[in-house]
Amino acid sequence: MAITRVGVVGCGLMGSGIVQVTAQAGFETVVIEANDELLKRGVGRIRQTLEGLTEKGKLDAKAKDAALARLSGAVGLEHLKACDLVVEAMTENQALKNETFAKLDTICPPHAILATNTSSCNVTAIAAATKRPAQVLGLHFFNPVPLMKLVEVARTILTDDAVVKTSTEWVRALGKVPVQTKDATAFIVNRLLVPYLLDAVRVYEGGLASLEDIDQAMKLGCGYPMGPFTLLDLVGLDTAMYVAEVMFEEFREPRYAPPALLKRMVLAGHLGRKTGRGFYTYGS
Ligand code: 3HC
C-alpha cells in the first residue's frame, strides 16, 4: 500500500516534530489539535523552525515553501478521513488514546494504518479499542524529532506483517532509521534509558556530586551527547515520571520507581525546559 496522505493527532513537542519531518519528506500532512489556540501555536512553531533553518541557509526557500504548502491544520478528527496513515501524538493517557483510536477507526478509510507515538501506553489495548487491530502499531519517535534518527516500530501480537512492512518503509522514507520491537512497556530505549535517568536523580539526592558534575561526567566519561539532568529537562520531568510509573506498575521492580525528588519537582511545576525550570533554569 502506498502512503501519500498522513494525519498527525497532536501538535505539541512530539507531534510538531513528526509533522515537520513528514511534510519535509514530501507527504501531504494534516495535523489535528484540540482547539484553535493549540493548533495555531503548534503550526506556528513548525513554521518558525522551517523559516529559521532557511535563514541559517540549512534549508532552501523553495523546500521550505513546499513543506509548508503540504501541511494543513484543523480541529476535529473528521479531517483525517482521507489519510492512509495516522500517527497519534497526544499526551500519555491510556483511556484518551483508546477513545481516540475508536473514533479514528470510524473516520479513517478501511485501508488506513493507525499508529501511536506512545512511549508507555499499552498498544495492544489501543488496537483492541478498534475494529482493525491488525492495522494498529506503535511508531515511537524521539525528542527532538527532526534531529533524532531512531523510530521504534512496535508491533502487537495482533499487528499484520504487511502493516509492519509498510510502516517501516514509511519511517525510512522520512529519513529515519527503524528498529523493530514488541509492544512491551517502554520498548527498547526507555526500558534502558529510564532506569539510568532515575539512578542519576538518586545519586544526586544522595549527595554524590553536583548536577553539573554528574552531567559532565556522563558526557565526557561516556561520550553521551548530554548529561542525564540536561536530558531530563529536555524530555520533561512529568513525562519521565509518568513513563517510570507505568514501568513500575508493569514490572514491580524498585529500579523503575520514581525517586522522591523527581516527584516533588513535578508537583512544584519544575518540568524542565518547557516550563523554564527543571534541574536547570532556562530563559531570562
Ligand atoms: N529541524 C531541523 N534541524 C534542526 C531543528 C529542527 N527542528 N532544530 C535544530 N536543528 C539543527 C540546528 O540548526 C543545528 O544546526 P547548526 O549546528 O548547523 O546550527 C543542528 O540541528 C543541531 O542543533 P544543536 O546545536 O542544538 O545540536 P547538538 O549538536 O547540540 O545536538 C541533540 C542536539 C541532537 C538534541 C543532542 O544533544 C542529543 O542527541 N541529545 C540527546 C537527546 C536524546 O537522548 N533524546 C531522546 C530522549 S528520550 C525520548 O525522546 C523518548 C521519550 O519517549 C521520553
pLDDT in tens, 174-197: 999 999 999 999 999 999 999 999
pLDDT in tens, 200-252: 999 999 999 999 999 999 999 999 999 999 999 999 999 999 999 999 999 99
Catalytic residues: 119, 140, 152, 190
80 contacts 107 by C-beta, under 8 angstroms: yes
The whole-chain average pLDDT of the chain stands at 97
Residue 137 has pLDDT above 80, yes or no: yes
Question: With bands split at pLDDT 50, 70 and 90, how would you rate the model's confidence at 1?
Answer: confident
Ligand 1 center to 141 CA (angstroms): 13
Alpha carbon nearest to ligand 1 atom 20, residue: 147
Alpha carbon nearest to ligand 1 atom 9, residue: 147
Which residues neighbour 198 within 8 Å (Cβ) at sequence distance 6 or greater? 244, 255, 256, 257, 258, 259, 262
pLDDT of the residue at 182: 96
Alpha carbon nearest to ligand 1 atom 35, residue: 144
Ligand 1 center to 230 CA (angstroms): 12
pLDDT of the residue at 284: 67
Ligand 1 center to 142 CA (angstroms): 10
d(Cα 42, Cα 107) in Å, to the nearest integer?
A: 23
Residue 74 has pLDDT above 70, yes or no: yes
Ligand 1 center to 147 CA (angstroms): 5
pLDDT in tens, 17-37: 999 999 999 999 999 999 999
Q: Which atom of ligand 1 is nearest to the CA of 17?
A: 7
Alpha carbon nearest to ligand 1 atom 22, residue: 147
Q: Percent of the chain, pLDDT > 70? A: 100
Alpha carbon nearest to ligand 1 atom 6, residue: 146
pLDDT in tens, 92-103: 999 999 999 999
Adjacency order of strands within the sheet including 5-9: 71-75, 28-33, 5-9, 85-88, 113-116, 136-141, 150-155, 177-182
Q: Which atom of ligand 1 is nearest to the CA of 140?
A: 53
d(Cα 22, Cα 17) in Å, to the nearest integer?
A: 9
d(Cα 103, Cα 59) in Å, to the nearest integer?
A: 37
Q: Which atom of ligand 1 is nearest to the CA of 146?
A: 1
- Domains located in the chain, CATH noted: 5-182 (3.40.50.720), 190-274 (1.10.1040.10)
Binding-site residues, ligand 1, Cβ < 6 A = 20, 49, 53, 56, 58, 119, 142-144, 146-148, 190, 193, 225-226, 231, 235, 239
As a three-state string, the secondary structure of the chain is CCCCEEEEECCCHHHHHHHHHHHHCCCEEEEEECCHHHHHHHHHHHHHHHHHHHHCCCCCHHHHHHHHHCEEEEECHHHHCCCCEEEECCCCCHHHHHHHHHHHHHHCCCCCEEEECCCCCCHHHHHHCCCCHHHEEEEEECCCCCCCCEEEEEECCCCCHHHHHHHHHHHHHCCCEEEEEECCCCCCHHHHHHHHHHHHHHHHHCCCCCHHHHHHHHHHHHCCCCCHHHHHHHHCHHHHHHHHHHHHHHHCCHHHCCCHHHHHHHHCCCCEHHHCECCCECCC
pLDDT of the residue at 98: 98
d(Cα 54, Cα 135) in Å, to the nearest integer?
A: 37
pLDDT of the residue at 171: 98
Question: With bands split at pLDDT 50, 70 and 90, how would you rate the model's confidence at 267?
Answer: very high
pLDDT in tens, 106-134: 999 999 999 999 999 999 999 999 999 99
Specify burial of residue 276 (Cβ count, 10 A radius: 0-12, 13-18, 19+).
middle
Ligand 1 center to 155 CA (angstroms): 27
